Structure 1
């Protein structure tokens, strides 16, 4: 489908990009003065900024392209991941953020040193940097480049990488200059554009569908035909326990583990809460973001299903369905707004990963070895780290391209790295008997197992897609695949995540109880309370948090009922 970008669309996109960069640079003026200002925005963030930034960070082109593409294939059930993330974000605000805020942390691995040992801190920090680069940054850049290719009619692999570099450099400009403050302020703007763009897609998709031969009524009869021949409504969130992609039991076990790990123990997400003025703002911001994530079901999942209705009988690749929908249904001007929204989603996710990785390396590695240098040096090191992480993310893109569903790649990858990290944080916060031996054993054994199973479950895709034209590699990979039993190589990643988590729990308990208990100060680390003004809550804080929590729960139940 040929597409010609109109002048008004180009103007909208250019104005948005310039405005974002200018605003980001404007708020970067004080960022280079000290590490607290650069990495935590001076701990001055209020809840609307935190909530908008959390939402904008989480809703990237992985969701628009990947989750929207999955909804195109299997239906609204693809958004179950979104709703699990909303639940996890609520837990962030009510359980995790208050604990971490009272410790006055810069990074989450700092807590791991206080609770376990410096080795655990170094492991988690380094591991987080690598995984954010190859799972988060690469996925966002690749999905964004797919959109750029389609919109500008670029077909070559070279053009893909040019698109990736353009997207990465644009987001890096203001992030390098201003740190977290610039990131959060620009995220607030990008959040507004995201919501407007998503709403525009929903409205115009419904209008277009209403003019189809069967009208809107025909849309409600869309069916997913599973690989085994079973038929399900594309408007139902729920699938049987043995569904290939979204089995209900796998979602509420492995899916919930992934969601809590990603939203409650990930530096790129928690960094906003660590920069909050107080616990009230961190909690309210998280709850605000959880509400927005429920709304995202209608901005991402519903248009994805409508795309399946509009493109019936057409050979549209799932990860290109959302872009194809934009090209087909939107008028000039509105197209520019929606493309600006997609670019906003890319930039907000890229800047978050860069800011988080910068904090992790500078605070958890560089600062430990260079304690008596000028604080401006820390900021410089943070900026260099951002550049290195950006390069790692770009170089990992060929691996991502081997997956037929981008969002499935992301969920599958995270499913095999989340259990050991989640287990260590969970036991560190809530189980005093856990010690550094148990934590290290869990991280080493759990990570090794996760990498092994991820390799086995993705090896066939690599053989038939990435190395399709390289006979030696293709045959080698298929030989390895065929050597192992089908139940292992074909295991659903959500169930794999749950079994992996049980293995990690067993490792933590076994090694912790085979070795001496941790010292009392280690056991009490989770209760440390360096208040420093964090408990000076605003009037009616408790009431407002309860109201926001109730609003979220009502909205969540309403969505489950509507798409049951």
Structure 2
């Protein structure tokens, strides 16, 4: 084990925790708004950092670099194309949520369709967090930390046992942040870790390129661009795992859902002190997505040249970190990766408590529960969720098809069906609750059949898009046949300023141009020619 690096790792974590404690020590967490939403007091720096860090987990450090190593840069499409989705959310979805004073995204479904559908979708969200989000975060961070510090070798235990041990460690530390510190402690730590991420990312690229180029950064860059150029291409063909055409079908729908309807993501923006601050925060997160490939994909490119025959490809990123960085920097980068994992983990665990308390437990108590009781019940639920996730997480090791593939394919079960219902609710006034229930059931059943029963011969992202169109048509037909007697009307229950950011369109345009430029750079028209 790299003892110096491990000590620096613990030191940086202690510094982040100390800052979070100092900044939140006077904040009382005996109300649901304080515990789950940070009293809706976030400025754009905190919103942007929280959104970016919540999205950037160790799953991506491990999974995307593994994908680049085994395939090519096409995995970059998930992050780059999300920029357009985020801008659409900032312009159209966020004002709707803030206007109605939403605490959770399913709150819109209660206003639009009724409390029954809100409960169904809340159950779907919670199932997603328990099966996909929280376990994969724990697993990804365990793989990364073991790859950097070689815990299995240091303790003389099996790889599987080391993953178990690290899953528990990450779970306990992350649980303390969320359960004891609440939402504001999470956002403060995100801001500190975001600054550290920039420093750590530059350091990793600097040392890894020098290592590849035998002491010369320029030499390292020339090696990446001089051979194995098939790994540089981000424009996938029809036979690639991620065809470029999926950007305009299922990938776009999933990204729009993820950034505009996924509770653990949107909760960061819903806690903004105003619509303007929320829109600025989402734009700042877009800047982070433009820079993210330097950490999520380029290390995988470097590993292609350094390690041509890795058996366990999930160890690509942690092995690179452990090999090329000085001990002190290794500990710092490990802390950054760990912090990114904790950030997403915290957001998922906090949002699971928010969904359970506000959408299920509170209605069940019929308004007879005090804020103190709700916060206590939320903490108990979060502890239970954490224990279940820690038990399930290590077994992802045995999933065939790769870690990142597991995340994306399983998440489609939960994301696009909810997106379909939400988008029809946004766009129509008379489609009834029965149409939404039928649409959800139809989508989930048919998607399951297409992936596990029948071989349809179509990429799962294209299947999602096709089913989206069919489900929308089905819901509109039901709405035409049996429309709501009284059309839905928006209600203004906002508790924050709804004045939009005045200069947003110029900034949005610049972000879209830079997004397109990134795709051109990593293509056969750019450096992959």
Q: How many pairs are equivalent?
A: 512
Deviation at 1:310, TM superposition (A): 1.5
Aligned mates of 2:203, 2:169 — CA distance in 1: 26
Match of 2:269 in 1: 273
1:409 paired with 2:372, answer no
Structure 1 pair 72–518 and aligned structure 2 pair: CA distance change class (3 A): farther
Aligned mates of 1:195, 1:84 — CA distance in 2: 21
1:216 paired with 2:211, answer no
Aligned mates of 1:31, 1:134 — CA distance in 2: 32
Alignment equivalent of 1:304, drawn from 273, 294, 300: 300
Report SS of the residue matched to 2:232: coil
Structure 1 pair 536–20 and aligned structure 2 pair: CA distance change class (3 A): same
Match of 1:561 in 2: 520
Q: Which moved more, 1:350-359 or 1:323-332?
A: 323-332
Aligned mates of 1:491, 1:396 — CA distance in 2: 30
Q: Which moved more, 1:45-54 or 1:198-207?
A: 198-207
Alignment equivalent of 2:358, drawn from 356, 363, 372: 363
Match of 2:17 in 1: 21
Q: How far does the alpha carbon of each residue in 1:88-110 deviate from its partner, in whole angstroms, 9 at most, with x for none?
A: 22222222111111111111111
Match of 1:551 in 2: 510
Give the superposed CA RMSD: 2.0
Structure 1 pair 6–273 and aligned structure 2 pair: CA distance change class (3 A): same
Q: How far does the alpha carbon of each residue in 1:100-156 deviate from its partner, in whole angstroms, 9 at most, with x for none?
A: 111111111111011002111000111101102221111111111112322234134
1:59 paired with 2:46, answer no
TM-score under structure 2 length normalisation: 0.92
Report SS of the residue matched to 1:396: helix
Match of 2:428 in 1: 431
Match of 1:345 in 2: 340
1:502 paired with 2:469, answer yes
1:325 paired with 2:320, answer yes
Structure 1 pair 403–179 and aligned structure 2 pair: CA distance change class (3 A): farther
Instruction: Give 5+ residue unaligned stretches, structure 1.
Output: 224-231, 457-483
Q: How far does the alpha carbon of each residue in 1:502-555 deviate from its partner, in whole angstroms, 9 at most, with x for none?
A: 2322332233333233522xx22xx32224342356xxx402x23432332232
Alignment equivalent of 1:511, drawn from 455, 473, 478: 478
Alignment equivalent of 2:283, drawn from 287, 301, 306: 287
Q: How far does the alpha carbon of each residue in 1:21-72 deviate from its partner, in whole angstroms, 9 at most, with x for none?
A: 3333441542422111111111111000000000000000111000111111
Within 5 Å, give how 1:210-249 maps onto structure 2.
210-211=213-214, 216-223=221-228, 233-240=230-237, 242-249=238-245
Aligned mates of 2:251, 2:508 — CA distance in 1: 22
Runs of 4+ displaced beyond 6 Å:
none
Alignment equivalent of 2:502, drawn from 539, 542, 545: 542
Report SS of the residue matched to 1:508: helix
Aligned mates of 1:158, 1:364 — CA distance in 2: 37
Q: Which moved more, 1:12-21 or 1:322-331?
A: 12-21
Q: Which moved more, 1:173-182 or 1:445-454?
A: 445-454
Alignment equivalent of 1:335, drawn from 306, 330, 334: 330
Q: How far does the alpha carbon of each residue in 1:356-407 deviate from its partner, in whole angstroms, 9 at most, with x for none?
A: 0110000001111321332111111111121122123223325532134211
Alignment equivalent of 2:383, drawn from 382, 387, 393: 387
Alignment equivalent of 1:532, drawn from 492, 495, 503: 495
Deviation at 1:203, TM superposition (A): 1.7
Q: How far does the alpha carbon of each residue in 1:66-89 deviate from its partner, in whole angstroms, 9 at most, with x for none?
A: 011111122222111111222222
Aligned mates of 1:554, 1:239 — CA distance in 2: 20
Report SS of the residue matched to 1:141: helix
- Indicate conservation of the 8 Å contact 2:151/2:162, yes or no: no
Structure 1 pair 107–39 and aligned structure 2 pair: CA distance change class (3 A): same
Deviation at 1:217, TM superposition (A): 2.5
Q: How far does the alpha carbon of each residue in 1:436-491 deviate from its partner, in whole angstroms, 9 at most, with x for none?
A: 0110111122222334444x1xxxxxxxxxxxxxxxxxxxxxxxxxxx55x43x64
Q: Which moved more, 1:415-424 or 1:19-28?
A: 19-28
Match of 1:188 in 2: 191
Aligned mates of 1:308, 1:562 — CA distance in 2: 19
Report SS of the residue matched to 1:542: coil
Aligned mates of 2:53, 2:473 — CA distance in 1: 36
TM-score under structure 1 length normalisation: 0.86
Report SS of the residue matched to 1:315: coil
Match of 1:376 in 2: 372
Structure 1 pair 222–414 and aligned structure 2 pair: CA distance change class (3 A): farther
Aligned mates of 1:51, 1:178 — CA distance in 2: 20
Match of 2:526 in 1: none
Aligned mates of 1:291, 1:518 — CA distance in 2: 45
- Indicate conservation of the 8 Å contact 1:265/1:422, yes or no: yes
Report SS of the residue matched to 1:292: helix
Alignment equivalent of 1:125, drawn from 87, 100, 122: 122
Aligned mates of 2:437, 2:80 — CA distance in 1: 32
- Indicate conservation of the 8 Å contact 2:125/2:414, yes or no: no
Structure 1 pair 209–119 and aligned structure 2 pair: CA distance change class (3 A): same
Match of 2:66 in 1: 69
Aligned mates of 2:499, 2:247 — CA distance in 1: 38
Q: How far does the alpha carbon of each residue in 1:281-313 deviate from its partner, in whole angstroms, 9 at most, with x for none?
A: 01000111011011101221112111112212x
Report SS of the residue matched to 1:211: coil
Match of 1:467 in 2: none
Aligned mates of 1:417, 1:221 — CA distance in 2: 42
Aligned mates of 2:383, 2:474 — CA distance in 1: 37
Report SS of the residue matched to 1:372: coil
